[in-house]
Amino acid sequence: MTQAENSSAALLAHFAEKQTEILAFIRWLVEQESRSGEADATTRIAENFGERLTQFGAAVDLFRDAKFGATLRARFPHNANPDAKQLLVVGHLDTVWPLGTLALRPFTIDGDKAYAPGIFDMKAGVTLATFALLALKELGRQSQRPVTFLMTCDEETGSHFSRPLIEAEAQHSQAALVLEPPVPGGTIKTGRKGVGEFELIVRGRSAHAGNDIRRGINAINELAQQILTINQFADYERGTTINVGVVRGGTLSNVVAAEAHAAIDMRFERVEEGQRIEEAMANLMPMLDGAQLEIKGGINRPPLVRTQAIADLFAHAKNLAAEMDYDLQEASVGGGSDGNFIAALGVPVLDGLGVDGEGAHAEHEHILISDIGRRATLLTRLIETI
Ligand SMILES: [Zn+2]
């Protein structure tokens, strides 16, 4: 057996032994509900998780916000190379699930699957990182550089509070590992689209639909025409998509609608495409006489572009996985994550390093228990070799 195979083999055996403990930790996290925007709940889970990390020897800081709760930063001491650039390990403790979902869908094991709200996205991933760091300590292994965990509280709603914290840590990081769920099948993410969110507000003038229709300006009619224009901004060849996801407007069928709104999602692979759409949205002109348009929002997340440095990092991960005869694959996806902010600063990112499973943001959300050992091994090998 080569040294490399031996490195992974020892970890695989270690994590096989720890499987019950790891599952108990995942359960402990998912049983603390933490929907984005529930500040008390996201603060509590960060405090509890921070306490555990402190016991493991980390220096923990919480950054608190009245609206979003608390983002956790944990620095793990490094004796050998304290001055080396750090390795950043990023996750989020918030979920999309309303408080009370757990009572309807409690933590359940069915064969190889463990179900719970937020388990796949991404409390299993957060647990992996915790046990990876613990394994280094328990097995007398060492990372190449100081390791910092950043666990945000508002990723699911766009990381408006956490973004500056993420960017500040990224500035002095060699690379970042993101604990988001993989593409089902275990495929990790080396590219992500950028995300824009817009709201279009149309103002017209109300009038009696029977007696006075020509004195009205129908905001819904105006919006309908704008939507046709906006959809033409998409460019599938370039990976740019537009989705008008919500419309509302008007009051009654016999009233000319004075106001109408649309919520629009935009995804793009290239920075210049994001700029093109932002400009096109800002330049929308009313089509009906007297109608007024207002555009809110803009680009929320820049794209995570697969640079050469990211490709190299993936090749490294693929070699590490091969130590376990694990054929690791990569993909580019449309969904954004906190990895987007980090990659935009030129720091290589590997994303989707969580446990395999399925059903992010869906009722059948679950992880595959049999995948825990090899993903924990892969993550630990990445942490000790980058
Ligand atoms: Zn997530």
Report the distance separating Cα 282 and Cα 294, nearest Å: 9
pLDDT at residue 77, as a whole number: 81
Q: Where are the domains of the chain?
A: 3-192+304-385, 194-301
| Residue 376, H or E segment | helix 372-385
Report the distance separating Cα 376 and Cα 7, nearest Å: 13
- Output the CATH code of domain 3-192+304-385: 3.40.630.10
Degrees to nearest 5, angle at CA 106 with 100 and 110: 155
Q: Which fold has domain 194-301?
A: Alpha-Beta Plaits (3.30.70)
Cα–ligand 1 centroid distance for 293 (angstroms):
34
pLDDT by residue (tens digit) across 225-274? 999 999 999 999 999 999 999 999 999 999 999 999 999 999 999 999 99
Fold match flag (3-192+304-385 vs 194-301): no
pLDDT by residue (tens digit) across 2-16? 555 568 999 999 999
pLDDT at residue 66, as a whole number: 96
pLDDT at residue 1, as a whole number: 44
Contact 169, 347 (CB under 8 A): no
Cα–ligand 1 centroid distance for 119 (angstroms):
10
* Dihedral sign computed on CA atoms, order 340, 341, 342, 347: positive
pLDDT by residue (tens digit) across 80-104? 788 899 999 999 999 999 999 999 9
Cα–ligand 1 centroid distance for 155 (angstroms):
7
| Residue 225, H or E segment | helix 219-231
Cα–ligand 1 centroid distance for 32 (angstroms):
16
67 has a pLDDT exceeding 80: yes
Cα–ligand 1 centroid distance for 116 (angstroms):
14
Report the distance separating Cα 90 and Cα 36, nearest Å: 17
pLDDT at residue 191, as a whole number: 97
Cα–ligand 1 centroid distance for 354 (angstroms):
10
pLDDT by residue (tens digit) across 123-153? 999 999 999 999 999 999 999 999 999 999 9
| Residue 153, H or E segment | none
Cα–ligand 1 centroid distance for 285 (angstroms):
37
